[in-house]
Amino acid sequence: MSDESSAPFSEEQNQQIIDTGIVAASNALHNIHCLSIIGQVEGHYILPPQNKTTKYEHIIPALIAIEEDSTIEGLLIVLNTVGGDVEAGLAIAELIAGMSKPTVSIVVGGGHSIGVPLAVSAKQSFIVPSATMTIHPVRMNGMMLGVPQTMHYFEKMQERITRFVTSNSKMRPERFKELMMERDELVLDVGTVLEGKAAVKEGLIDRLGSLSDAVKCLYKLIEKDKKLPKEKSSVRKTSAGKTARTTKNTAPAKRGRKPKSAAAVVSEANGKLTRGDMRLGDWSGER
């Protein structure tokens, strides 16, 4: 019988991989989590059982837990997805983009359709040379009404995707739309397939590299994040004699009523405050 201690993962880690596709690294330089987005991103409707899916109801709580866990220093996202539900994919991408912890994504195999926003949502993105990414317009299955409102809905949804991708990458919106509407690239669809080097050249992905490159980059982001200066604090005494710690206020002063002029203070003390003693600065604040 084989020794259980020599197994790469513990029983708890194996179950975690089966349930959510997430595993925490052990005996590493930094404590990072690996999140895998594979197959098809499942949204509000359950896909057939033979489909390999990533369920957004599993990923969203996991991202929140990773953000709140003080022991986790960084997140590595590994993508090999054909796309899937637009709103579910955008929801996951927005959460990743809004995380305060260092995040790095790497595309292996493919990062197609809604996988494009997921790939660029991390602070640094990688792609292996053999991977591909497909950029194409939004599609919809099922019954649709042939009315102008339907086309307007598609345009707004496409604009949401374009705005997110271009704001989280180096690609210009005009270029993204141009690649999305390319007619000579795909056989049965409109769009463009970008290989690893092309995705980096177009500014969609930050770097070309392997798993080790992505991990090294994540470690550097973690170490850089730890070196950031903390807020200076000082200790002061309250009126009750107790000590209280206050942080240095670096934010601009809030708007408020400005102090009265010297002339106004003297006139008010004599009980003879007149309209001429008031200054415009005394009433420029909020009432």
Active site residues: 113, 136
Q: What is the DSSP string of 21-35?
A: SEEE--SSSS-EEEE
How far apart (Å, rounded) are the C-alpha atoms in residues 191 and 181? 5
Q: Identify which of 77, 83, 151, 145 has the alpha carbon closest to the alpha carbon of residue 111.
A: 83
Tokens of 269: 């003390």
Pairing of strands 32-42, 74-84: parallel
How far apart (Å, rounded) are the C-alpha atoms in residues 75 and 198? 25
Instruction: Output the CA angle 76-77-78, nearest 5 degrees.
Output: 115
- Using CA atoms, how far residue 154 sits from 115, 136, 144, 147, 157, in Å, is 18, 13, 11, 12, 5
